[in-house]
Structure formats: C-alpha cells, structure tokens
Amino acid sequence: MSVSGSGVLAFEDGSIFRGTAFGATGTVSGEGVFNTSMTGYQEILTDPSYFGQIVTMTAPQIGNYGINPEDEESDGAKVLGFVVRDLSPATSNWRSREDLAGYLARQGIPGLSGVDTRTITKRLRVHGALKACLSTQGIGDDEAIEKARSWPGLVGVDYVKEVSCKESFQWDESGKDTVPFTVKGTRLQPPHLDRPLYRVVAFDLGAKYNIFRKLRHHGFEVEVVPANTPAEAVLERRPDGVFLSNGPGDPAAVDYVHRTVSRMIQQLPTFGICLGHQMITHALGARTFKLKFGHRGGNQPVKNLETGKVSITSQNHGFASTRAELENRGAVVTEINLNDETVEGLRHKELPVFSVQYHPEASPGPHDSDPLFDDFYQMVAKYAVQGS
C-alpha cells in the first residue's frame, strides 16, 4: 500500500523540500540528480545506471500513463528515491496495468510529490550533484540533512557488482520474445530477420533490457555474462564480438573490467555504450572525471566530428572521458556533446573498437542513434569474414 502524508528531501547544503509522500515508507540517502526526459519514467526507474541515486524529474506531471510489465528495463526499480512536481491522480493508457504510486510501494522505493522541482534542478545545476536524503518516515529537517551529509558518496565505489547478473545466460535464443513494439497500421521497420546471425558476448555492467533487444533485432545471438567474467572465459567461447553495457557508479572503480577489456579489444570487435564507453577509455590507458551535474535525459545534442551530423540522444551518466589522453593512446574522438564539448564517442585507429557515451537503444528517447547497432553488425561481419 502506498503511503500518503508529509515527506522530506534534504541536501547536504542544508536546503529542505517538503511535500507529499507516496510509494514506499522509508528513508534513503544517495546522490541527488535530475532527468529532463518528458516521458519514460518507468524506464528511468528501472535503469540500473541509477543505482545509488535519488532522481528528480523536470517534467511537471509524472505517472499519467501508468506502469506496464513490458517497459521494465531490468528486474525491478533501481533508483533509491523518486521526486516529482505533480503525481498524476489518474492513469490513462491501454497498456497500463498499475499506477506509479502502487508500483513504487511494491518495489520499496519512497517518492515525494508537490515540491518545486524547478528550484531543485536549478540548485543541482549551480552547485552540482549533491548528497541527498529522501524520507517518507516523518523525520525532522535536521536529521534529514545529517543523513544526506553522512552518505559517503559514489566516487571510488564499485556499484557494478551490485547490479550485474550473477550467472551467464542466453538472451531470448529463439528471438520470439524480442519482437519490436508496433501498432497495427503503422510503418515501423521490422527487425533484420534475413541476416546471418553473429554471436556476441555482452558484459552486463548494469544493462538495460532494450540493449539486448536491439542487438537481437540487428542480427546477433547474445550471451550475457557477469561483469567479473575474465577475458580467458570470453575468448574460450570464441564469439564474433563483444558488447559492453551501461551501468552505475564510478568507472575508475571497476578496475577488474578495465583489465578484461584491455585484453579483449586486442582480439575481438568491441562496441561499448555509456559505462562500456568508459571501460574502453580506461582499457586504453586514459582516465575519466566526474561531471558537475551529469547528462540525464532524452534531449542531449551530440555532434559527429567526422560527418558533421547532429543527433539528439538519450543519456544517463555522471562521468566523462578525458579527450587529450584518449587521443594520445590511439583513439579518435568521433563525437562531442554540444552543451559542454565533452567526449561522446570514440573509435580506435587500428583496433576494431568503437563506443559512445550515450544510449542508442533510447529507452526512453529519440531513435537518431539506432544505426550504431547496424555499424556494429557490419564491423563484426567484416572481421568474421577475415578470420574465416
């Protein structure tokens, strides 16, 4: 049963926001961030990249189309807490099976509504991502501020081990459960059903399900493996390529993945997104750094420096790669963010390796970058032919 009554959101700088509690009864401390997506709150809630974070939505009304089992991006909600301006009192969508408040209550996630999310967002933009506490248990302001300040932070912390799968598995081997969503009478493109299938090992660093669906749509058989799988175990499987997923936390803290990727990129075509992009960055010997308030939302402009094309992308990350170090270690920076000119894509000059900082699977978000999965297919096909 979802709670109702007073709730509090406190930040380490002493600021307090009180509103109406919903979802589960609880008190959580984590990193306070904001997301600018207009839709897709369910995908955001279930994105493992948000592990350890309290998310504020900038869109004013959230919850109006409910929750459905098809739009889950993992095995359940991964955010610590959820903050909205206006929790919709009604849900209206033919796919809806549950309302947002009930879903969060069932998932054990506290929520807060009726607060000034614009002020929260401006504070995070000015001061950067802040340590935060969200409580629906009736605690006082001073206690909430102290709980925010005492949270240790995520720099240097390995959150990947908390969200990665524990055992390897085949993703929808038959392909029957990975049919693209469509509505009768529309002209949505079908998957590439007539292609030869290539085998890829996908590292689950905190992956969203739609990434695996996209790989399947574009002609891959996908074996998902835990983040701590050693390079030798991957090479023994003799895959045609390797995929590195998104995930949470500080990319510098996951050194065991750096070592694995450093070995694999010497022998197999490799594609990484988000945290996977940062794993390639570290594998090449470059570093990552923490952004002031991160990129989170479905409206991030990215420019391809090789083609001049600008794409609107879906993003969710708080760290970025160091450009000069990448360029000194055999990488070409292919894309930049037009808001702050941080690195959004790279390819290696000699090795069959490329990656992007954003989410081409776009759940939620625009589909401008969907062709990247086809680029990966073409690269894998090329090297499979050369190796045969």
DSSP assignment of 320-359 = EE-HHHHHTTTEEEEEEETTT--EEEEEESSSSEEEESS-
Q: Tell me the C-alpha distance between 374 and 386, whole Å.
A: 18
- DSSP symbol at 82: E
Q: Which residues pair with 54 in a beta bridge?
A: 32, 81
What pLDDT score does 365 carry? 81
Q: pLDDT by residue (tens digit) across 346-378? A: 999 999 999 999 999 988 888 888 899 999 999
| Residues 6+ positions from 30 with CB-CB distance below 8 Å | 52, 53, 54, 80, 81, 131, 132, 151
Tokens coding 86: 């206006």
Query: For residue range 50-97, what is the model confidence (pLDDT) as tens digits?
Result: 999 999 999 999 999 999 999 999 999 999 999 999 999 999 999 999
Residue ranges of domains in the chain, CATH in brackets? 6-150 (3.50.30.20), 160-387 (3.40.50.880)
Euclidean distance between CA atoms 70 and 28, whole angstroms: 28
Return the closest-CA partner of residue 297 out of 275, 310, 315: 315
Pick out the chain residues at pLDDT < 50.
1
> At 105, is the secondary structure helix, strand, or coil?
helix
CA distances from 269 to 19, 125, 231, 294 (A): 50, 38, 14, 29
Pairwise CA distance, residues 327 & 169, whole Å: 36
Residue 89: phi, psi to the nearest 5? -75, -10
> Of 31, 43, 223, 361, which residue is the catalytic one?
361
The CA distance from 46 to 205, in Å, is 14
Tokens 């989170």 sit on residue: 296
Catalytic residue (one of 31, 218, 274, 317)? 274
Cα–Cα dist 81/133, whole Å = 9
Q: In angstroms, rounded to a whole number, what is the distance separating the alpha carbons of residues 247 and 316?
A: 9
Rg of the chain (C-alpha set): 21
> How far apart (Å, rounded) are the C-alpha atoms in residues 305 and 314?
19
Q: Is 274 one of the catalytic residues?
A: yes
Q: What are the backbone dihedrals phi and psi of residue 67, each rounded to the nearest 5 degrees, phi first?
A: -130, 140
CA–CA distance, 302 with 330 (Å, rounded to integer): 22
Nearest-CA neighbor of 20 among 42, 33, 3? 3
Residue among 384, 376, 369 nearest 315 (CA): 369
Active site residue 361: yes
Contact 72, 102 (CB under 8 A): no
d(CA 385, CA 272): 22
Residue with token string 């029957």: 176
Look up residue 20 and give its DSSP letter. Answer: E
Task: Give residue 183's pLDDT.
Answer: 66
| Mean of pLDDT over the chain | 94
Cα 92 versus chain centre, distance: 27
Q: What is the pLDDT of residues 170-187, one digit of tens each?
A: 998 777 767 666 666 665
- Rounded to the nearest 10°, the torsion over CA 56, 59, 65, 66 is 10
Cβ neighbour number for residue 105 with a 10 Å cutoff: 19
- Which residue out of 218, 277, 282, 359 is catalytically annotated? 359
**How crowded is residue 60: how many other Cβ atoms within 10 Å of its Cβ?**
11
Q: Which of 86, 102, 47, 82 is nearest to 364 (CA)?
A: 47
Q: In this structure, are residues 364 and 45 in contact, taking their beta carbons and an 8 Å threshold? A: no
